[in-house]
Amino acid sequence: MNIYSRFLSRYYFGTVKIFKLPDLGEKIKEATIKKWHVKIGDRVNEFDPVADVSTDKMFTQIPSNYTGKIHKLFHQEDETCLVGGDFLEIEVESDTQESASSQPQHHQVKQEDTKQQEIHQTIQTNNTPSNHKLATPAVRHLAKQKGIDLNKIQGSGQDGRILKTDLEKQVQSPKEQPQSSTKINIKSESTSTVIKMSDFQKGMQKSMTEANSIPHLYLKEEVDLTELAQMREQLKKEKNITFMTLLIKSFSLALTKYPILNSTYDTTKQFEYTQHSSHNVSVALDSPKGLVVPNIKNVQNLSISQIQDELNRLRTLGEKGQLSFNELSGGTICLSNIGTIGGTYTGPLILAPQVCIVGIGRLMTVPRYDAKMNIVPRKIMNLSFGCDHRVIDGATVARFNNVWKTYLENPTSMFIHLK
């Protein structure tokens, strides 16, 4: 087959489509490409994963919208892509004669667009000031953090684009190190390292900065879980039910009496809040990538066994860094079990736009007086409420706590309410 025949075969029977980075929700504007699962020339099917990306709120996989052959990757790993920006090109086979007949015109337009881009890049390279070096926003931000002048770097990417690796070489180069720094390192054995935050750490910083602007109301309580611990031992004969699962279910039962705690507050609508009928309980989890807060949807409709299954699933996904947007969004109220690591009381910050969070301390066996004033061992846990005082008052939190405490200290009282 000659060159002309291959040209006609390709562009009469194939379409090169640009796949843009899809909307990831939660007002996310950009994502960092952590790993490509494809390379140029690979064939993919619709819904096959093409890349792993991370944002300040999640780590997720991007699936292909098309079936075809990878034609171009617009970014390298560790580069940032804007939502709606060019992600990759896929050469898609046309299914109908109509789509085939439309290809010459499509390719002609694409060629013209490509030429315009090349001309624009040539003009920018030759005629623009030196402070307009080609680089992604992520590379420019990293250069600013490290105090590197992009004008002094020759980029190794396409059309002289400056890559992250170019910055790393610049930092490692001994020629760029000031002599004064070398002398300090020789005289002192101590070193300081600047650590760039991960995407999840960035998300925590943003959400906690926002949370710190909320006027918090705190309430701290001690609950006796001796009876609940005995009930759990009975349940474990059928299934390994954790204390966290029992806390979540009893918490949901108490919310039915005080639904205002299961609300969200939009700061742009100052004198109103949204009360939710679905108890989507967010659970703060410690993962290898940092703090993640997925949520269990519709806890009010789930059995204790179903809650345990969902909690196990979220923990597994969190450990693998595979929590999706659906698991991380839509939470209405939060429980944070710091007691699994250590600590008794805490002062938790609200996960906005939610209006309530509860920090759970560790379970301890301590001496307490019984009704006859005898000292007996009891299993005690401490709870710490953090509430948005713009929506919730102290009396409401205290009354809710009394109901929840009753369920926890007298677990049989829950059974008549279980679905």
Q: Residue 361: left (phi > 0), alpha (psi -120 to 50), or beta?
A: beta
- Element housing 81 (H / E): strand 80-82
pTM score over 0.75:
no
The Cα 202–Cα 221 span in angstroms is 32
Whether the CB-CB separation of 383 and 314 falls below 8 Å is answered with no
Q: What is the pLDDT of residue 11?
A: 45
Report, as residue numbers or ranges, the catalytic residues.
Answer: 389, 393
The Cα 326–Cα 174 span in angstroms is 47
Residue matched to tokens 């299961």: 262
The encoded tokens of residue 9 equal 């075969």
Alpha helices in 188-303 (DSSP H): 199-211, 226-235, 243-255
The Cα 35–Cα 20 span in angstroms is 17
Whether the CB-CB separation of 83 and 28 falls below 8 Å is answered with yes
Sign (positive or negative) of CA dihedral 89, 91, 96, 101: positive
The Cα 187–Cα 252 span in angstroms is 60
Whether the CB-CB separation of 14 and 103 falls below 8 Å is answered with yes
Q: What is the pLDDT of residue 173?
A: 58
Q: Report the Cα–Cα distance between both ends of the chain, in Å, rounded.
A: 70
Whether the CB-CB separation of 207 and 367 falls below 8 Å is answered with no
Whether the CB-CB separation of 249 and 283 falls below 8 Å is answered with no
Alpha helices in 277-336 (DSSP H): 304-320, 325-328
Helices (H) and strands (E) in the chain, counts: 12, 18
DSSP at 237: T
Q: What is the pLDDT along the chain (419 residues), one digit of tens a residue?
A: 444 444 444 444 458 888 888 887 767 888 888 889 999 989 988 778 899 888 876 777 888 888 889 989 999 998 889 988 999 999 886 543 333 333 444 444 344 444 434 433 433 333 333 345 676 656 676 777 677 877 778 787 766 778 777 877 777 654 444 444 444 454 556 788 888 877 767 777 877 888 788 999 999 999 999 999 999 999 988 999 999 999 999 999 999 999 999 999 998 888 999 999 999 999 988 877 777 889 999 999 999 999 999 999 999 998 888 888 889 889 999 999 887 787 888 889 999 999 999 999 999 999 999 989 999 999 999 999 999 999 999 999 999 999 999 999 999 888 777 76
Residue 121 Cα to chain centre, angstroms:
35
The encoded tokens of residue 121 equal 């890049």
Using CB atoms within 10 A of its CB, is residue 384 exposed (0-12), middle (13-18) or buried (19+)? buried
How many Cα atoms occupy the beta-carbon half-sphere of 71 within 13 Å? 16
The Cα 192–Cα 349 span in angstroms is 30
Q: What is the pLDDT of residue 206?
A: 79
Residue 361 Cα to chain centre, angstroms:
25
How many Cα atoms occupy the beta-carbon half-sphere of 102 within 13 Å? 9
